[in-house]
A and B are shown apart, each in its own frame.
Chain A
Amino acid sequence: MPLSFLFAVLLLLSIVGYQLGRNRAVATVDGKISRLHSVPSYYGFYVALWAGLPAFLITILWLVLQGSIVDALVMNSLPAAMTNVSAQELTLLRADVQNLAAGVGASRTPDPSMLNAAAYYLELRSIARWAMTGLAVVIALLALSAARTRIKPALRARNQVERTVNVFLILCSLVAIMTTIGIVMSLLFEALRFFGRVSLFDFLTGLQWSPQTAMRSDQTGAVGAFGAVPLFLGTMLIAVIAMLVAVPVGLMSAIYMSEYAPLRVRSTVKPLLEILAGIPTVVYGFFAALTMAPFIRDVGLALGLSVSSESALAAGLVMGIMIIPFVSSLADDVINAVPQSLRDGSYGLGATKSETIRQVILPAALPGVVGGVLLGFSRAIGETMIVVMAAGLSANLTINPLQAVTTVTVQIASLIKGDQEFDSPKTLSVFGLGLVLFFVTLCLNLVALRVVQKYREKYD
C-alpha cells in the first residue's frame, strides 16, 4: 500500500473527526451554542487534530527507524562467515542484497544465502509496510474516538487547538533557522579541512592563485598556489565599478521619481524600472559577454587602448545596471519616508525644490540611502552569473578595469563544476572562498540593516 494512500486515509479520518466533534459538541448542549466554552468548529478541529496528528507522527517515526531495523535483521540472517568482515565490505554486502531485492545487478555473482537474504528483505519490508499502515489507522481511530468522548461543554477546545497551531508555526520557522545554521556549519567544517592543508595566513595574503594541484606525487609542475588576494581584488574592482554606475543613476532616478515626476509619469516609469530587477542574471551575463565586452574592446581599440576581450569594465558596468533598480527602489522608499512637514517647512521659508532636496531631504534620507548602497554592494560581491560569463578566469593581480580579472564567485563556480574529488585542496578551497564571501556579505548586511533601522526609528 503506497504511503500517499495512508496519508489520504488519515486526512479523511481528520475530516470525519471534524464533523463528528462539531456535531457532538452541539449535541451536548442541545444546540445552545452559547453554553459551550469554545465555538463549535474548535471542537471539530480538536477531534480532527487528535485523529490526524498522533498517527502521522507515528508513521514518520516508523519510517525513520524501519530501514536500520530491517537491515539489522537481514544481515543477521546471513551466515557469519559472510558478515565477519570489515565495515566497508559490510556496507557493500548490504548494498548488494538491496540491489538483488530491487532486481538491479549486484557487484558479485549471488550465492544462495544472499538470494535468501534478498527474499527475506523483501518480505520484511512488505510486513513492515502493512504493519505500519495498520498501526497508524488503528491509532487514528482510537485517538479519534477518545477525543470525541472527551467533548464536554467545559472542554477548552479553543485553547488546545490554538496551542497546537502555535507549536506548528514555531516548527515551521525553526526549519528556516536550522537550515541556515546547517549551511553555515557545513561551510565552516569543510573550510576548516581546507585550512588544515593551506594556512589561513597564506590564503588571505598570498598574491598568487593557481588551484591546479598535482594528481600524483611524482608529477612535476602544477603545484597549487592558494593566495586569494587577486580574487578579492578582482571582486572589489568589479563591485566598485558596479556601484559607480548604480549609486548615481539609482539615486538620481529615485529623486526624480519621488520629487519631480508627475503622478502619471511615476506610475508608468516606476514599474518599467522594476522590470530591470526581474531580468534573470543569466540574461545580464550574456548581454555583458556578447554585447558589452566587444563594444568596450572596439571603443578601446579606437582610442588606442589595449582591452582584453573579457574585461572587468564590461562585467562591472552590466552588474551596475542590474543593481540600479535595487538602489533606486530603496532610495525611493527612504526619500518618501522623509516627512512632508520638513518639505513644507523648507518651502515655507522660500526654498526652491532643488534647495529643499539638497539641504533638507537628502541629509535626512542619507542614513537610509547609505544602508541601501551597502545592501547593493553586498549583492554586487555575491553576484555570480554576470562575472562567470564576462569577467574571465585568469587571476590577474591588477586594478586596471580594461584587463580580465576573476572574482571569488567565478572561482567557486569553475572549481566545483563537473566531477570533483572532495579531498583535494583544489576543491576544498571552494569552502574557504565561500566562507570569506559569506562573512563579508554578512557583515555588510548587518551594518546596512542597523543603519536603516536607526533611520526608521528617527521618523516613526
Chain B
Amino acid sequence: MSVQLRSQINEASGRAPARSATVPVKIAAENVNVYYGPKHALKAINLMIGEKQVTALIGPSGCGKSTFLRCLNRMNDTIGICRVEGLITLDRENIYDKSIDVVQLRARVGMVFQKPNPFPKSIFDNIVYGPRIHGLATTRDELDEIVQISLERAGLWSEVKDRLREPGTGLSGGQQQRLCIARAIAVSPEVILMDEPCSALDPIATAHIEELIDELRENYTIVIVTHNMQQAARVSQRTAFFHLGEMVEIGDTEEIFTNPRDERTQGYITGRYG
C-alpha cells in the first residue's frame, strides 16, 4: 500500500472519525510518538475515541496497542526509559500538560490489566482502596454503598456478598478479574482501559466479562486491547488495527471486519499473519 493512501486513512480517521456525527469525542490522540530508549514503538498515531463506546485495539503482538493504551492514563510514566511525544487530550485537555495531576488523571481513567491482580487484602478492602485514597467516602455507610454498587455493576455482588471479608486472592480467575473491574469502577472513572482482560481466563469467564463490558458501555467509555478478533467483533463499536507501531486503520467494527480498506488489516483478520 502506498504511503499516500495510508495518510489519507489517517486523515480520514483522525480529522473526521466515521461516526463522530452522533458520538462526542472523549479522547483524542494527535501525532503521538512513543520511544522506549532508542526504539520507536509508536509512530505518529492519530486516533479518536468516542464517548460511551467500546473501542477495540487489535493487531499482532508487539504492534504497540498496549503501549498506546498505557499512554492514555500515563501508566508509561512508571517506565523510566519511555518517552511520549505528541498530543493526547481527554475532554479537550492535554493530559501530558504540566498542570495535570497524574493521580487525578488515573482516577478519571481507570485500568484493568491482563492478569487479574487483586491486592492481597479482603474483597471489601480491594474495592474501597481507590475511594479511600481519593477521599471519595469516609463513613462506613458510604463505603458499604460504594462496595455494593461497584460489585453489582461488575456482576459479582450476588457471588461474594456473603464473604466480603475473605481475601480477594481466594476467588477464581474470572471472579478476580471482575473484582478488578469493580475496583476500577469504585473510583467512578469516566474511561476504563482494558489490557487484554480475558487472556488469562477460560471461555465461560470470558463470556461473563464480555457481557459485562457491553453493560458498562452505558456509563463508561471503554478502550479494550485484545488479541481475540471475535471478541473485538462481539464487544466493540469501533476497531483500530495496529501494525508495527503504526495505526493502519480505524473504523466501525462491522466495517473493519467485513470490508477492510487496507490489505494488512485484511491479512490479519483473515488469519494470514499475526
Contacts and interface: CB of A to CB of B under 8 A. Distances in A.
Given A344-B117, A345-B113, A350 B80 contact: no
B110 A349 contact: yes
Interface in B150-208: 180, 183-184, 187
Nearest to A263: B80
A278 interface: no
Nearest to B77: A347
B180 A352 contact: no
A22 to B, nearest CB: 50
A262 interface: yes
A351 to B, nearest CB: 5
A344 B112 CA distance: 10
Interface in B61-75: 73, 75
B103 A352 contact: yes
A349 B119 CA distance: 12
A436 to B, nearest CB: 38
A360 B126 CA distance: 10
A458 B169 CA distance: 10
A355 B103 CA distance: 11
A84 interface: no
A407 B87 CA distance: 67
B120 interface: yes
A365 B119 CA distance: 12
B133 A351 contact: yes
Grouping DSSP codes into helix (H, G, I), strand (E, B) and loop, the A interface class, with mixed when no group exceeds half, is helix
Given A262-B80, A344-B75, A349 B133 contact: yes
B120 A364 contact: yes
A348 B119 contact: no
Interface in A334-391: 339, 341-352, 355, 359-360, 363-364
Given A341-B115, A344-B113, A349 B106 contact: yes
Contacts of B75: 344, 347-348
A250 to B, nearest CB: 23
Given A347-B106, A349-B187, A350-B104, A341 B129 contact: no
A349 B80 contact: no
A451 B117 CA distance: 23
Interface string B77-116: 0101000000000000000000000111111001101010
A318 B138 CA distance: 45
B40 interface: no
B15 interface: no
Interface string A305-342: 00000000000000000000000000000000001011
Given A262-B80, A344-B75, A349 B184 contact: yes
B117 A350 contact: no
B197 to A, nearest CB: 13
B129 A359 contact: yes
B130 interface: yes
B234 interface: no
B30 to A, nearest CB: 24
Contacts of B19: none
Contacts of A263: 80
A256 to B, nearest CB: 16
Contact of A342 (B78, B119, B187): B119
Contacts of A348: 73, 75, 106, 110-111, 113, 184
A345 B121 contact: no
B133 A350 contact: yes
A267 to B, nearest CB: 13
Contacts of B73: 348
Given A344-B113, A350-B187, 5 more contacts: A341-B117, A346-B129, A349-B129, A351-B130, A458-B120
7 contacts: A339-B117, A344-B78, A349-B110, A349-B184, A350-B107, A351-B133, A359-B129
Interface of A: 262-263, 339, 341-352, 355, 359-360, 363-364, 458
List the 3 closest A-B pairs by CB distance, nearest first: A348-B111, A350-B106, A341-B117
